[in-house]
């Protein structure tokens, strides 16, 4: 596995919303803004009504507006679990 890349997956009970590689994942939780980079320590957080931005390995920013999400990272893998009623509202930057 490339230690400079994150494997990212966003899933809802209805299926996979996004799956791919990234150089960073950013969002906001109750403590403030955060970034997940390769090599990040294990991390678990909740977000509500804030964007989650994925900077892909192709230098493309993808922003997902999620009503609620659980974000978990370990060993360069980021899993984002979102609400059952999620309707994709992807903003491609």
Q: What CA–CA distance (Å, rounded) separates 87 from 21?
A: 22
**Cβ contacts of residue 89 below 8 Å, gap of 6+?**
64, 65
Whole-structure pTM value: 0.86
pLDDT in tens, 37-81: 999 999 999 999 999 999 998 889 999 999 999 999 999 999 999
Domain count, the chain: 1
What DSSP state is assigned to residue 41?
P
- Residue 21 resides in a domain: yes
- Residue 38 resides in a domain: yes
Q: Is 59 exposed, middle or buried (0-12, 13-18, 19+ CB in 10 A)?
A: exposed
Count of other CB atoms within 10 angstroms of residue 93: 8
- Residue 90 resides in a domain: no
Domain that holds residue 55: 6-85
């Amino acid at each position: 596995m490339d230690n400079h890349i994150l494997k990212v997956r966003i899933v809802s009970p209805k299926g996979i919303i996004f799956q791919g590689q990234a150089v960073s994942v950013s969002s906001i939780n109750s403590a403030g803004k955060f970034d997940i980079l390769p090599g990040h320590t294990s991390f678990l957080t909740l977000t509500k009504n804030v964007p989650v931005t994925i900077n892909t390995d192709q230098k493309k920013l993808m922003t997902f507006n999620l009503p609620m999400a659980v974000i978990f990272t370990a060993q360069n893998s980021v899993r984002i679990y979102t609400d059952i009623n999620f309707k994709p509202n992807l903003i491609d930057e």
